[in-house]
Structure 1
């Protein structure tokens, strides 16, 4: 079979990890049952001019310092959203659900029968051999270590994560002290991690089964401290009255499901630079090109033949990959996306 006969120009996969938005509440570490929804507060502040000036302005300021004084005299007025605990609360509660779906062996759209057959065969070989054990463990670790808290995790005295399986007739629960688990690697032989990882892996490896998880996280950060919901993307800040808009749902401060999902799939330690301490970003989110937007860098490039498409095109047509590369490819398929190939 030639490659031209085996091209799927329409190829898409539905995501298999489906988190909800995360809702934020205030409480105390001593009495976690007494909770109140956290609301956004609008604040107007008078900032100073602190941005870097262009070269032309800098030269003018060198010649005439009075011009800089005049510039600084103009206040940098801003209206922003903030969110804080109350003065009698020291703990943030974050609550969301996560659905884990099976059926990764079947694309949601594929217009080439020959490709679909070879792809399905490759996935079934992986499932029979690996049973999603490694990926399941890594997703479980990112629940246990509370990576999904993002900035809210920094400076926390205590972090407790409760994970509850809600499936009828197979309820189960796990409780983790997130401070005991690393966010830099996945080297853990914890019994609870393995148990939760097995439940996630079993769902991923199934044909049409699912796992429904409820996640409740308590973070002791200090009385009246600021918490950090997701920030909305404002395309034209000049036209709006606020320079920072935070996310809320029904007046409850919240985190985007996409942000939670990004944290859960930050399991890629297989990219080439991971072992290089100077250039490593730690575990990065599963992406076809290993893109880390806040660093402005792609860790998996076609030039180095480490990107998803290089691996996938070979593997899905019956080619062999290293085990770590197979894990990576399967994790991208769990992520989902549109991966059609041009036949030109």
Structure 2
């Protein structure tokens, strides 16, 4: 640590954050690819297939278009309840029962005995995470920005030597070991075995994922500690790539549906239901309109995968430091304001947000809950500039 940094005022706080303040993600993650484990111990990619289906309408009758001529309540009730000759109601005849769609599906090979999911990750040095810090446009005096950068550097230097960093790393390791990152595939699994390996194929740990809690970070096993130490070493600057493999047994054999990430598509084509995430390129279409013998009912779109952002969201679901944890009993993803999509709520107010803590890095002890939340926030990355005075 430089003499200039050592002499920095540790009691200083900032009324506002710099106009430009951003951090890059502290853990680099690959997409997690899906593979069939076949009955002869070989493996093949699980492919996303695009196809058509004919389902039924699942909308409230109140969502149907109103009749052109207004009826009295008595007439409307009689029309709705009155059966036709074949026993259906007039209301169901008036509306289209069918729901024809084009959709994507990922299913295991008929010869599969299990689903394999693989990804790699590597922790980055905390010192590399401060991506940009600068004054607002038009601001002439940059002294405060320089002091702010020094406050971040001081906190990072303390964090790298802290037990708080170990705790954050143990929580990330648990979310690898318990298979939280497998999302819906974990929910449907009969059993899951996860392996983590380091340099030279060194075994870091083997885990029975379904036996490890999703809701707390107590009772950390020795194999979780080994994995956590590699993550913590990476955050201190001693990088090591970690290979992760999950073997998921769904308790049944055959073409079982599995669940990669979904793609968000704005203004989807009419009749298109669900696009799934995959890597690679779609198979070439052999369709020949003039010859119906070559008609294709399905088309392979690529290898099924979980997107890296989705995995990252699962791994950072470690925030039990938010005020309502004792009441809810579940961790939430580390977010500056505690935003949670499942609950459609913010679990951190102005006083407990990352924006507030970032104004007073010099007062944060990385071993406290506030300090650990901010270590995790740095690892999450993102933009924190623009705080209010």
* TM norm structure 2: 0.78
Q: 8 Å contact 1:164–1:213 — kept in the other structure? A: yes
Q: 1:23 to 1:129 in 2, by over 3 A?
A: closer
> Is the counterpart of residue 284 in structure 1 residue 332 in structure 2?
yes
Q: Over residues 302-328 of structure 1, what are the superposed CA-to-partner deviations in whole Å (9 max), with x where a residue is unaligned? A: 2xx2211122212x2435688111111
**2: CA distance between counterparts of 1:334 and 1:210?**
14
In the alignment, which residue of structure 2 is the partner of 1:194?
225
**2: CA distance between counterparts of 1:71 and 1:178?**
50
**2: CA distance between counterparts of 1:6 and 1:306?**
15
Q: 8 Å contact 2:196–2:206 — kept in the other structure? A: yes
In the alignment, which residue of structure 2 is the partner of 1:122?
155
> Is the counterpart of residue 245 in structure 1 residue 275 in structure 2?
yes
Q: 8 Å contact 2:31–2:308 — kept in the other structure? A: yes
How far residue 61 of structure 1 moved from its aligned partner, in angstroms, is 5.7
Q: How many aligned residue pairs are there?
A: 331
Q: Over residues 221-263 of structure 1, what are the superposed CA-to-partner deviations in whole Å (9 max), with x where a residue is unaligned? A: 12121100111102112x2552111111112111111111111
Equivalent position SS for 1:142? helix
**2: CA distance between counterparts of 1:106 and 1:173?**
26
Equivalent position SS for 1:117? helix
Q: 1:149 to 1:22 in 2, by over 3 A?
A: same
**2: CA distance between counterparts of 1:132 and 1:289?**
21
In the alignment, which residue of structure 2 is the partner of 1:309?
355
In the alignment, which residue of structure 2 is the partner of 1:79?
102
- Unmatched tracts of structure 2, length 5 or more: 1-8, 68-72, 81-88, 135-144, 281-301
Equivalent position SS for 2:168? helix
- Unmatched tracts of structure 1, length 5 or more: none
**2: CA distance between counterparts of 1:107 and 1:139?**
21
* More displaced stretch, 144-153 vs 104-113: 104-113
In the alignment, which residue of structure 2 is the partner of 1:48?
56
Equivalent position SS for 1:286? coil
**2: CA distance between counterparts of 1:195 and 1:321?**
21
**1: CA distance between counterparts of 2:64 and 2:277?**
37
> Is the counterpart of residue 333 in structure 1 residue 378 in structure 2?
yes
Q: What root-mean-square deviation, in Å, do the aligned CA atoms of Structure 1 and Structure 2 show?
A: 2.7
**2: CA distance between counterparts of 1:309 and 1:267?**
18
**2: CA distance between counterparts of 1:150 and 1:108?**
30
**2: CA distance between counterparts of 1:321 and 1:100?**
18
In the alignment, which residue of structure 2 is the partner of 1:235?
266
* TM norm structure 1: 0.87
Q: Which has the larger radius of gyration?
A: 2
Q: 8 Å contact 1:106–1:120 — kept in the other structure? A: no
**1: CA distance between counterparts of 2:44 and 2:63?**
47
* More displaced stretch, 84-93 vs 1-10: 1-10
Q: 8 Å contact 1:131–1:201 — kept in the other structure? A: no
Q: 8 Å contact 1:4–1:343 — kept in the other structure? A: no
